[in-house]
Amino acid sequence: MIQATEGLLKSSKKLNLTSQLYNGSQFVFENQALHRVVWAGAHEQNLLDFGSDLRIVEPVSELLGSKEMDQLINQIHFKMPGDDIEFEWHQDSQHRGYGTADWSDVNGTGSYVQTLIAIDEVTADKGPVKFIAGSNKLNHLGLNNIADISSVVDIETAETLLMQPGDIVLFHPYVIHASTKNISSTPRRVLINGYSYPGANHKKYPGEGSGRRLSLDQLKNKKTA
């Protein structure tokens, strides 16, 4: 994963800080910095291999209640020293398009699982993700339309997730979370893979091959073959 992120970073230098599709992946720059690479495995195949690794797909399948799933996200988030990247309080359901024609909650429990793997150690000064425990039970709130989040939840109760390289967190599309800037002197990179229940998503995500259908049984057979 480290090699892959270095490959992406090297390619990003050729793109003049301009967001664009390059080698099948969508490079996104914000505030003069590489913010994220969407469907990063088109450029760096091993990231797609991680995205179909049984150690991820099995628990995701259990949470979704389906042996089949559509992989919507295979993304690297960069937080390099001094780049000021942060993520406001949100639910991932917002980014999936809940409440619009882009999404149907097919399994009735959110139909989506997000996973985040730490590539670097995530210490308190590297902008760790903070979660509001239990907020997954609040349903989709449309936080982008709520001016003051404290009218909905007490952000003082947020729990900070410190991680070792290789640690993974799996989370519900309704759990409210955020992350602050990396104020350390070393990078914080994470690989994010996201999976939806078949039929839930109606949107085409950027990147060559995005939205691929994964089958737990097929992946298991491939592994034993």
Ligand X SMILES: O=C(O)CCC(=O)C(=O)O
Please state the closest distance from residue 77 (CB atom) to ligand X, in A: 4
Tokens of 95: 């980014």
CA–CA distance, 29 with 19 (Å, rounded to integer): 5
Q: Quick check: 1 binds ligand X (CB under 6 A)?
A: no
| 44 within 8 A of 36, measured Cβ to Cβ | no
Q: Quick check: 40 binds ligand X (CB under 6 A)?
A: no
CA–CA distance, 160 with 117 (Å, rounded to integer): 15
| 160 within 8 A of 124, measured Cβ to Cβ | yes
Please state the closest distance from residue 179 (CB atom) to ligand X, in A: 3
Binding test (CB under 6 A) with ligand X, winner from 177, 193, 205, 214:
177
| 141 within 8 A of 98, measured Cβ to Cβ | no
Q: Quick check: 116 binds ligand X (CB under 6 A)?
A: yes
Please state the closest distance from residue 23 (CB atom) to ligand X, in A: 22
Please state the closest distance from residue 127 (CB atom) to ligand X, in A: 6
Which chain residues interact with ligand X by CB under 6 A? 77, 87, 92, 114, 116, 127, 129, 177, 179, 190, 192
